Structure 1
Amino acid sequence: MEKVMGLVSDKGVVIFSKSSCCLCYSVNVLFRQLGVVPLIYEIDQDPEGREIERQLVMLGCNAPVPAVFIGGNLVGSTNEIMSLHLSGSLLQMLRPYQILC
């Protein structure tokens, strides 16, 4: 878990993703539509990707990708993100990380 926590600490919004994952792409697009440019870690392109994936599962991700961290805290995967978005809570969580246009 040390590797994952090191990658997300002191960062705003971080998404662990796989380049071929359509759900990862959808979550990334959602965040950009909400005015947030997340830091994306494509774990399928990282030599330590399998270890990162294992650590994400150990942290509690139901599905290892997309794994979304906001303010250094694990928020969850697609289901959690969409539930938060539909309830209006996601936008509140993202407010400090939105790019002002």
Structure 2
Amino acid sequence: MKSNPGKNNISGNNYILAYHHVERRILPTIARVLPDTFYWQLQYLETQGLYPCTLSNLVENIFPCRNSSQQTVALTFDDGFQCVYDDVYPYLEEMNFAATIFVITEY
């Protein structure tokens, strides 16, 4: 695939938000978002009319040259920490949002 900045069919219609930690603990070396802030972000995305989807759904729908004005957003979570289940999943379920979680299998 050839890179062509600013001249692709995903510009302006699709977003990927990448998270690492969503929790209340202070983690000085890792970027985190407070659970309440994450919930506010989900509400904001919904009010902006963005359609939530998994990362694979976003890719499947874009690269066959989808002609749609529907804006989509894919949420991703690195490492699959416990906070994703404890602090993220309840909000995703409540708001009917999908997400992609990259789980570490070995460290």
Report the TM-score when normalising by structure 2: 0.32
Q: TM-score, normalised by structure 1?
A: 0.33
Between structure 1 and structure 2, the one with the greater Rg is 2
Structure number with the higher helix fraction is: 1
